[in-house]
């Protein structure tokens, strides 16, 4: 009989997990609420009259700042204290939420969202690194599964609460829901969460951070601008090619310095690299699908913001029900099998949107959301646990920053790329109807389905033909976009089968600090 190894976790670890979930909720709530509010923000009377590109930037300004500063936030948290970084992040996020709520123009909202990204960058990596530090490795998988499942709770609360607010108050109220969550989080963090830091921190990689931010912003700007105005202009390719060049320089620089913000040698470790790539593929496809689904439900199908939020419940229920059970599934069948099945279900859920029409029974869309939720619930927990377990506790911020950066960057690029595909196909399909309209009206109809609905309202009875044409064009564009997202997710299945590690048992004690080559040798 083997002697029982003592649990190395914090005595209040499960209560601390609850506090961290509250902190995570504020970040996820914001993005789910914004998806419901997109139609209102596009309305020139009740919203800000935002264009399709401005709507995308209202999402991407947050995610790009978030992703660009995650490395720095992870390093600062490891160096100066994770609790301190979490407190600062919550405070900045709450302040930026107030600024967003009272923005007067789309540009002001975009900049306020960027400030929210700064706060989110400080929050997200430290929640996961604190989990790795307060939980014994034998309980860590279950804790990360609960952490991942809490995303489903936010997905359920955000659209429903946001929709209810939009029906009763002005659009800025959707950002004010972050404030009480932030206040509750600050109080709970101060009381419950212990301070932790890396006893041997490295130097802060300022040049690397700047290169990553510049590269990501330039690349996404080129893709978004190309989707809105066409890819035939030099400025579009200057952004795309320039962004890729800066990101290549970032990788080259990170390989040469002693204390990189991203140790690129980690990507030689299968247990680290495969789940990171998996997360990127999933969120590239998923964020693009969520972006167009809000327009499909609210405009094509005519549901209110609150009803649209309720339509997301099947996805949220699937997340909450299946994510906490994923750790047991991984223990029984292995991370490779669970992740492959999860990706296949995700691809089916996304691909199903390619078969929805203007009058398809809405229960079909609900079933697709549920299937997609089940799939993603069995992807994220094993992927995150594999990443975090490949690093020692002292470097938990590195693993958390890398995984969350890839997730956010992939999500931003998914919205940009799939949004560009959606806009391009829509423009081509609606062009015949738009040509019969006068100049400004034609441009509005060709720009987006929201613009078409605005034109139709001013045309009176004649606007019915414009709405019908716009709906048909949007549904056709949605089919192409959904099919592309499903193909990306399906490619992930092949990657998992080839590179994702199978069954493995966590160490009963925390690993000693290790270099990337040592981690590769372990794998």
**Residue 520 falls inside a structural domain:** no
Same domain, 73 and 62: yes
Same domain, 53 and 108: yes
CA atoms of 146 and 24, how far apart (whole Å): 12
The pLDDT value recorded for residue 96 is: 92
Same domain, 243 and 269: no
The pLDDT value recorded for residue 521 is: 44
The pLDDT value recorded for residue 132 is: 76
CA angle 329, 266, 328 (to 5 degrees): 10
Q: How confident is the model at residue 95 (pLDDT cuts 50, 70, 90)?
A: very high
Residue 234: give the domain boundaries. 206-260
Given 194, 217, 241, the domain boundary residue is 194
Give the pLDDT confidence of 294-353 residue by residue, as tens digits. 788 888 888 877 787 788 788 878 887 887 777 778 778 887 888 888 889 999 998 999
Same domain, 138 and 211: no
Per the structure block, which two tokens stand in for 73? 């936030």
- 260 Cα distance to chain centroid: 24
Give the pLDDT confidence of 243-267 residue by residue, as tens digits. 889 989 988 898 888 777 677 777 7
Residue 3 has pLDDT above 60, yes or no: no
Same domain, 221 and 322: no
The pLDDT value recorded for residue 502 is: 64
The pLDDT value recorded for residue 509 is: 42
- 501 vs 497, residue with greater confidence: 497
DSSP 359-423: TS-HHHHHHHHHHHHHHHHTTHHHHHHHHHHTS-GGGHHHHHHHHHHHHHHHHHHHHHHHHHHHH
Helix (H) or strand (E) holding 509: none
Q: What percent of the chain has pLDDT over 90?
A: 7
**Residue 75 falls inside a structural domain:** yes
- 189 vs 389, residue with greater confidence: 189
Same domain, 458 and 310: yes
**Residue 200 falls inside a structural domain:** no
**Residue 98 falls inside a structural domain:** yes
The pLDDT value recorded for residue 507 is: 47
| Burial status of residue 464 (CB atoms within 10 A of its CB: 0-12, 13-18, 19 or more) | exposed
Residue 110 has pLDDT above 80, yes or no: yes
**b/e per residue, 186-204, with b = 16+ CB within 10 A?**
bebbeeebeebbbeebbee
Mean pLDDT for the chain overall: 78
202, 129, 178: which is closest to 396 by C-alpha? 129
Give the pLDDT confidence of 24-59 residue by residue, as tens digits. 877 777 766 776 777 778 777 777 777 767 777 787
The pLDDT value recorded for residue 236 is: 83
Q: How much is the average pLDDT of 70-95? A: 84
Same domain, 24 and 59: yes
The pLDDT value recorded for residue 52 is: 67
Torsion of CA 165, 170, 176, 178, to 10 degrees: 50
The pLDDT value recorded for residue 520 is: 44
Residue 211 has pLDDT above 90, yes or no: no
**Residue 515 falls inside a structural domain:** no
Report the CATH number at residue 348.
1.20.1250.20
Same domain, 42 and 188: yes
CA atoms of 414 and 487, how far apart (whole Å): 13
Question: Is 448:326 a contact under the CB 8 Å cutoff?
Answer: no
The pLDDT value recorded for residue 518 is: 46
The pLDDT value recorded for residue 54 is: 77
Same domain, 384 and 281: yes
**Residue 506 falls inside a structural domain:** no
Same domain, 232 and 312: no
Question: Is 93:123 a contact under the CB 8 Å cutoff?
Answer: yes
**b/e per residue, 444-455, with b = 16+ CB within 10 A?**
bbbbbbbbbbbb
Total structural domains within the chain: 3
Same domain, 120 and 188: yes
pTM: 0.74
Same domain, 294 and 187: no
Give the pLDDT confidence of 223-232 residue by residue, as tens digits. 766 755 667 7
The pLDDT value recorded for residue 228 is: 59
Give the pLDDT confidence of 127-186 residue by residue, as tens digits. 877 887 778 777 777 787 777 777 666 766 777 777 777 777 888 888 887 888 888 889
**Residue 516 falls inside a structural domain:** no
Q: How confident is the model at residue 517 (pLDDT cuts 50, 70, 90)?
A: very low
The pLDDT value recorded for residue 512 is: 40
Highest-scoring range by mean pLDDT, 38-42, 282-286, 416-420, 482-486: 482-486
Residue 364 has pLDDT above 90, yes or no: yes
The pLDDT value recorded for residue 378 is: 84
29, 25, 55: which is closest to 40 by C-alpha? 55
Question: Is 128:391 a contact under the CB 8 Å cutoff?
Answer: no
The pLDDT value recorded for residue 391 is: 67
- 118 vs 517, residue with greater confidence: 118
Q: How confident is the model at residue 200 (pLDDT cuts 50, 70, 90)?
A: low
Residue 394 has pLDDT above 80, yes or no: no
Give the pLDDT confidence of 5-15 residue by residue, as tens digits. 566 666 778 88
**Residue 510 falls inside a structural domain:** no
């Amino acid at each position: 009989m083997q002697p029982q190894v003592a649990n190395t976790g914090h005595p209040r670890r499960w209560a601390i997990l609850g506090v961290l979930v509250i902190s995570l909720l504020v970040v996820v709530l914001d993005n789910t609420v914004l998806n419901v509010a997109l139609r209102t923000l596009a309305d020139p009377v009740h919203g800000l009259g935002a264009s399709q590109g401005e709507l995308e930037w209202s999402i991407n300004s947050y995610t790009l700042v978030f992703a660009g500063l995650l490395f720095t936030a992870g390093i600062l948290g490891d160096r100066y204290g994770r609790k301190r970084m979490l407190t600062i992040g919550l405070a900045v996020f709450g302040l930026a939420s107030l600024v967003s709520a009272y923005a007067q123009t789309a540009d002001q909202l975009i900049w306020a969202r960027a400030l929210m990204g700064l706060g989110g960058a400080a929050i997200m990596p430290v929640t996961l690194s604190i989990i790795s530090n307060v939980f014994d490795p034998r309980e860590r998988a279950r804790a990360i599964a609960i952490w991942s499942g809490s995303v489903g709770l936010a997905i359920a609360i955000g659209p429903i609460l946001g929709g209810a607010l939009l029906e009763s108050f002005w659009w800025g109220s959707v950002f004010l829901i972050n404030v009480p969550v932030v206040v509750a989080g600050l109080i709970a963090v101060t009381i419950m969460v212990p301070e932790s830091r890396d006893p041997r921190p490295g130097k802060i990689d300022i040049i690397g951070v700047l290169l990553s931010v510049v590269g990501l912003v330039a690349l996404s700007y080129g893709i978004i601008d190309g989707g809105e105005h066409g890819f035939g202009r030099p400025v579009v390719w200057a952004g795309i090619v320039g962004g890729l060049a800066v990101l290549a320089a970032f990788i080259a620089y990170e390989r040469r310095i002693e204390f990189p913000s991203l140790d690129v040698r980690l990507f030689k470790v299968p247990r680290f690299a495969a789940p990171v790539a998996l997360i990127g593929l999933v969120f590239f496809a998923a964020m693009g699908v969520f972006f167009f689904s809000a327009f499909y439900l609210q405009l094509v199908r005519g549901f209110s913001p609150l009803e649209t939020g309720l339509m997301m419940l099947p996805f949220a229920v699937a997340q909450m029900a299946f994510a906490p059970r994923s750790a047991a599934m991984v223990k029984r069948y292995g991370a490779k099998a669970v992740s492959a099945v999860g990706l296949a279900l995700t691809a089916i859920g996304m691909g199903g949107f390619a078969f929805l029409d203007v009058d398809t029974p809405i229960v079909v869309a609900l079933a697709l959301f549920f299937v997609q939720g089940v799939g993603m619930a069995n992807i994220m927990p094993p992927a995150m646990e594999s990443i975090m377990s490949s690093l020692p506790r002292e470097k938990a911020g590195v693993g958390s920053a890398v995984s969350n950066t890839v997730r956010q960057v992939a999500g931003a690029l998914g919205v940009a790329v799939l949004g560009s595909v959606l806009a391009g196909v829509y423009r081509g399909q609606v062009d015949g109807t738009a040509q019969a309209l006068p100049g400004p009206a034609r441009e509005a109809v060709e720009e987006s389905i929201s613009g078409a609905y605005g034109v139709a309202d001013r045309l009176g009875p004649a606007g019915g033909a414009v709405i019908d044409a716009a709906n048909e064009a949007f549904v056709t564009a949605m089919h192409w976009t959904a099919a592309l997202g499903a193909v990306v997710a399906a490619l992930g299945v092949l990657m998992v089968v080839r590179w994702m590690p199978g069954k493995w048992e966590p160490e009963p004690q925390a690993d000693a600090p290790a270099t990337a080559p040592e981690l590769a040798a372990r794998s």
